[in-house]
Amino acid sequence: AGLFGTGIQSYFTFLRFLLLLNLPTLLLTASFVLLPLAWLHPPGPGPALNLTAGQCPDSQQPQSGIPKFHNQLWNILTGRAFNNTYLFYGAYRAGPESSSGYSLRLAYLLSPLACLLLCFCRTLHRMVKGLPQRLLLGQDYKAPLSAKLFSSWDFCIRVREAAIIKTHEISNELKVELDEDHRFLLSQQRSRTQRACHLLSYLRVNVLIGLLVAGAISAIFYATKYSQDHREEPLFVVLQYLPSGVIALVNFLGSQLFVILVQLENYAPSTEVNLTLFWCVALKLASLGMFSFSLGQTVLCIGRNRSSCESYGYNACDYQCWENSVGEELYKLITFNFLLMVASAFLVSLPRRLLVERFSGHFWTWLDREEFLVPKNVLDIVAGQTVTWMGLFYCPLLPLFNSVFLFITFYIKKYTLLRNSRASPRLFRASSSTFFFQLMLLLGLLLAAVPLVYVVSSTHSSWDCGLFTNYSAPWQVVPELVALQLPLPAQQVLHYLSSHTFGFPLLILLSLVLTVCISQSQANTRAIHGLRKQLVWQVREKWHLVEDLSRLLDPGASPGPESPPSRASRPGSLCPGFPCPGSPGPRSPAPGPSRFRFPTDPGSPAGPAASPPSPPGPW
């Protein structure tokens, strides 16, 4: 924070939060799925699905489970080395539900949903906790610079290096505050024509970026479709990473173009970061959504007619264990993103810094070190976390890989920032970005939850592997267990809770609770505004007392209007963030008797000058 500002610090805090978010997810999966699975000793795999030549006229016997290239490195990179391990869905097996008191299928089904709910609650709590202070205090609230200047120093500092870092931190905070005040004054001085031109330029930039996002989504769709349709080509090793490469290329070029287009409009640093981050994350999430849809169209035949899909509910000719195939694609996505980050740090940023330090000239001065772009780096970790959530059903141990990747990413980014990067000349406040980071993470969670809910509730499971081989959809295990394990009264209660008879009263109750919460929030807002007005009146009362005291101490002062020097001499720090009395414009005393009278001599009943009446307070 002292060297690069609180905005850069918020990125590393966000990265640490994601690491702590994956650990409970991994612990939940290991406790309810892996440990019971090791205790119960699952049975071996059943007979393979036998497909006739009439059902698959255009393909040979499926080769998706047989590695064509025996190179162990390629098998690790593609995930085929872990195909028979607990990393993927196909290795999980269990006997009939009536043979054991613990339902491994129910635990495997509910663990991803519970993990998503836990992550949603923690992210929402952090987002509400990190709300910008100005949203709560109002747009017109301004903390005094004197308070930041005189109360920011830590007098426990004894080391020179720590003192230098603290000095930089205070300097960065004051720069941000002054820059925001300057931009606020400029925005207030704009005419209506200038504001209309500013709005048109804002719309122009966003429309252009939206068109670029649409083109990128189309490229990802066709790349994924081409990769899946040419699975048996001689260049399969290259083609299987084609979707990941196109997604990485699109997001890299998109983030660079977005930064350039947004910087051309000269927005505020916080607005620039948030706007760039919004479009970068929108591009990344839209890319992942299109990637999921194209996989569903190829694997589950969504919107396509195939003979093998009619009998089995999925493309059984090319994907006998389609959950493993989808898991491999998600595994390749997260692995490719991590390898790309490592390559960018040590093959691009490090050589660039060495060349800039070694050579001199106009070109190398213009090139300079790499600037640490917060939107691009946040984009990478949000995309990795979204892919991890999308793979909870297909790869239950994917949070373990993501945790290791995040741990290594933290130190690589720290090294890149301290050694290979330069401080950005445009600083921004951490509170304005932290809230936006959590909002983008929630959007990624919702994107991951939609296909998961669809697969769990409406998609036929594979016939050859996994826990749900005999179920039309994984969710069918829930009513089966309710009928087997629960008594009749409990079943009737559950049926009532899932019926419309209970749903309508619950909806009405939730509407009432929401209405009460909104009313209470509005009442609290009105109370805050009332307390602020009361504070203003109290400050004005103090100023009237100061005026009466000054007249008492200086009997020769005229009772006329207050002079400009006396108004200018008033300290403005007594009412930080509020309109102090005596601000521009003379105040003439109102006629009428004064509320305070100070006798000047024993013989006179009142002093020579009467103070202006004090406005009534809220009491």
Quick one: pLDDT band at residue 98, thresholds 50, 70, 90? low
Quick one: pLDDT band at residue 112, thresholds 50, 70, 90? very high
How confident is the model at residue 573, as a pLDDT? 41
Q: How many CB atoms within 10 Å of residue 191?
A: 8
The residue count of the chain comes to 619
Q: Is the pLDDT confidence value at 506 over 90?
A: no
For 11-31, write each residue's pLDDT tens digit: 888 899 999 999 999 999 999
CA distance 277 to 258: 9
How confident is the model at residue 256, as a pLDDT? 79
Q: Is 371 helix (H, G, I), strand (E, B) or coil?
A: strand
Q: Is the pLDDT confidence value at 77 over 70?
A: yes
| Least confidently predicted of 241-255, 315-329, 557-571 | 557-571
How confident is the model at residue 22, as a pLDDT? 93
Give the containing element (helix H, strand E) for 421.
Answer: strand 421-422
Residue 259, Cα to own-chain centre: how many angstroms? 19
Q: Is the pLDDT confidence value at 160 over 80?
A: yes
Phi/psi at 197 (nearest 5 deg)? Answer: -65, -40
Quick one: pLDDT band at residue 594, thresholds 50, 70, 90? very low
Quick one: pLDDT band at residue 117, thresholds 50, 70, 90? very high
Where do we find the tokens 């990393």? 87
How confident is the model at residue 16, as a pLDDT? 92
Q: Is the pLDDT confidence value at 277 over 60?
A: yes
Quick one: pLDDT band at residue 433, thresholds 50, 70, 90? low
- For the entire predicted model, the pTM comes to 0.71
**Which residue would you say has higher pLDDT here, 43 or 588?**
43
CA distance 214 to 221: 11
**At CA 216, angle to CA 212 and CA 219, rounded to 5?**
145
CA distance 283 to 248: 11
How confident is the model at residue 17, as a pLDDT? 92
Q: For the residues 585-614, what does the mean pLDDT come to?
A: 43
How confident is the model at residue 385, as a pLDDT? 92
Q: Is the pLDDT confidence value at 70 over 70?
A: no
Where do we find the tokens 């209007």? 561
Residue 256, Cα to own-chain centre: how many angstroms? 20
Q: Is the pLDDT confidence value at 599 over 50?
A: no
Amino acid identity for residue 527 in this structure: A
Q: What share of the chain is helix, strand, coil (3-state, %, to 5)?
A: 65, 0, 30
How confident is the model at residue 346, as a pLDDT? 92
Q: Which residues of 438-473 are buried (b: 16+ CB within 10 A; e: fewer)?
A: bbbbebbbebbbebbeebbeebbbbbbbbbbeeeeb
Phi/psi at 574 (nearest 5 deg)? Answer: -75, -20
Partners of residue 370 on adjacent β-strands = 421
For 477-500, write each residue's pLDDT tens digit: 888 888 877 788 887 888 888 777
Q: Tell me the angle at which helices 6-29 and 374-390 cross, rounded to the nearest 10 degrees.
A: 10
Q: Note whether 44 and 93 are within 8 A (CB).
A: yes
Partners of residue 371 on adjacent β-strands = 422
Nearby residues of 229 by Cβ (< 8 Å), 6 or more positions away = 298
| Least confidently predicted of 225-229, 494-498, 502-506 | 225-229
For 524-572, write each residue's pLDDT tens digit: 888 888 888 888 888 888 888 888 888 888 766 555 444 444 444 444 4
Q: Is 370 helix (H, G, I), strand (E, B) or coil?
A: strand
Nearby residues of 110 by Cβ (< 8 Å), 6 or more positions away = 32
CA distance 616 to 365: 65
247, 274, 317, 536, 557 from 585: Cα distances, Å:
61, 39, 84, 18, 20
Q: For the residues 345-371, what does the mean pLDDT come to?
A: 87
Q: Which of 447, 450, 472 is CA-nearest to residue 314?
A: 472
Give the containing element (helix H, strand E) for 565.
Answer: helix 564-568
| Least confidently predicted of 150-159, 417-426, 518-527, 596-605 | 596-605
Mean pLDDT of the chain: 76
| Least confidently predicted of 70-79, 316-325, 442-451, 578-587 | 578-587
H helix intervals, 391-499: 398-415, 430-458, 477-485, 488-497
Q: For the residues 163-179, what does the mean pLDDT come to?
A: 76
Q: Tell me the two tokens of residue 88.
A: 């993927």
Quick one: pLDDT band at residue 574, thresholds 50, 70, 90? very low
- Strand 421-422 to 370-371 pairing: parallel
Percent of residues, the chain, with pLDDT higher than 90: 13
| Least confidently predicted of 60-69, 298-307, 396-405 | 60-69
Q: Is the pLDDT confidence value at 61 over 70?
A: no
How confident is the model at residue 610, as a pLDDT? 42
**Which residue would you say has higher pLDDT here, 599 or 257?**
257
Q: For the residues 121-138, what does the mean pLDDT come to?
A: 70
234, 279, 425, 495 from 223: Cα distances, Å:
17, 22, 38, 46
CA distance 82 to 70: 14
Best-predicted range by mean pLDDT (194-198, 271-275, 422-426, 477-481): 477-481
Q: Note whether 545 and 597 are within 8 A (CB).
A: no
Amino acid identity for residue 157 in this structure: I
How confident is the model at residue 42, as a pLDDT? 67
DSSP string, 176-218: HHHHHHHHHHHHHT--HHHHHHHHHHHHHHHHHHHHHHHHHHH
Q: Is the pLDDT confidence value at 181 over 60?
A: yes
